[in-house]
Amino acid sequence: MRAPITIAMVLLITISAFSQKDKKLKDQEAIKSMCGCFEVTFNFAETFNYSTDSLYKPSKTKVDKGLEWAELIVNEDDKISIQHLLQVGNPAAPHIVKHWRQDWLFENTDLYGYNANNTWAYLSLPADQVKGQWTQKVYQVDDSPRYEGSSTWVHVDGKSYWENTADAPLPRREYTTRSDYNLTVRGNRHEVTDYGWLHDQDNTKVIREDGKNDVIIAKEKGYNTYVKVDDSRCAAAAAWWKSNIDKWALVRTKWNDVYGRNQDLSLEEKVDNKVLYKYLFDEEYDQKGEIEEVIESFVKK
């Protein structure tokens, strides 16, 4: 005989439902706090060297600064998407660079795990494994995949943060100067702060080859601060996005079609000796058909 449902049980269920809803609202608030205009400082330093090569040279410590506009482009209950734009050069006539994009999906089960050499493995996770979690999907400047991972936002002791470790391609500052490793294992921490937000990284530089154990050659620390400033300082970036929003919506739609195939993905580095972002950053590429064609040309069959 089934035990009767008591008022206490109903109350517990109701309280739990309200608690989960309140937690999700706090998650959404933390994610959306990464939107707006920020003075950004990018700090990277190689910390430990594990290479057996006596001629090994560590990467130079790198510090860059700039203004970054983070535009909220999707604001749904289970999906939040933020497009980042760099604003550089003369403040009177700044240059705008379409930067990275981050999508946040609630209790998402479909991911692409990076596996070195411009290949990503499609992963389907069980629903109970991602319960209450948010997947952060990070994209390249041309909206091709970069890395992603699923974890829980934590709100405790006045702090709000999200931590995850994910395999990723080399960052641009590295792959333009280094060829002695082919994978970055990224330890990412996004934390809301009193000045804006912090992207704290503990990264590992890895050589990955089929049939062999991964080889760690070095560790790296990244410490990127986003200091909130008045949105008016990023007016040029905001205006640029309004002028280009339709084109990049077409780009995202085509990539969503590619990702929606739910199969392993391998991309060409160049087509006709040209990387993808060079095509898409060309103002002449603004029609649906040609955008779809050029993206598809980079997808290996």
Task: Please report, in tens digits, the pLDDT of each residue of the chain (301 residues total).
Answer: 555 656 544 444 444 555 889 999 999 999 999 999 999 999 999 999 999 999 999 999 999 999 999 999 999 999 999 999 999 999 889 999 999 999 999 999 999 999 999 999 999 999 999 999 999 999 999 999 999 999 999 999 999 999 999 999 999 899 889 999 999 999 999 999 999 999 999 999 999 999 999 999 999 999 999 999 999 999 999 999 999 999 999 999 999 999 999 999 999 999 999 999 999 999 989 999 999 999 999 999 7
At residue 2, the pLDDT reads 59
At residue 257, the pLDDT reads 97
Closest C-alpha among 35, 71, 8 to residue 228: 35
Beta strands in the chain (DSSP E): 36-49, 62-75, 79-88, 95-106, 110-114, 119-124, 134-139, 145-151, 154-156, 159-168, 183-192, 196-207, 215-229, 265-266
At residue 15, the pLDDT reads 46
For domain 7-231, the question of CATH label 1.10.1740 is answered with no
At residue 12, the pLDDT reads 44
How many angstroms separate the CA atoms of 143 and 281, rounded?
11
pTM summary value: 0.92
Bridge-based pairing of strands 145-151 and 79-88 is: unpaired
At residue 19, the pLDDT reads 81
At residue 301, the pLDDT reads 79
Q: Residue type for 295, please?
A: I
Phi, psi at residue 149, to the nearest 5°? -165, 160
How many angstroms separate the CA atoms of 58 and 51, rounded?
10
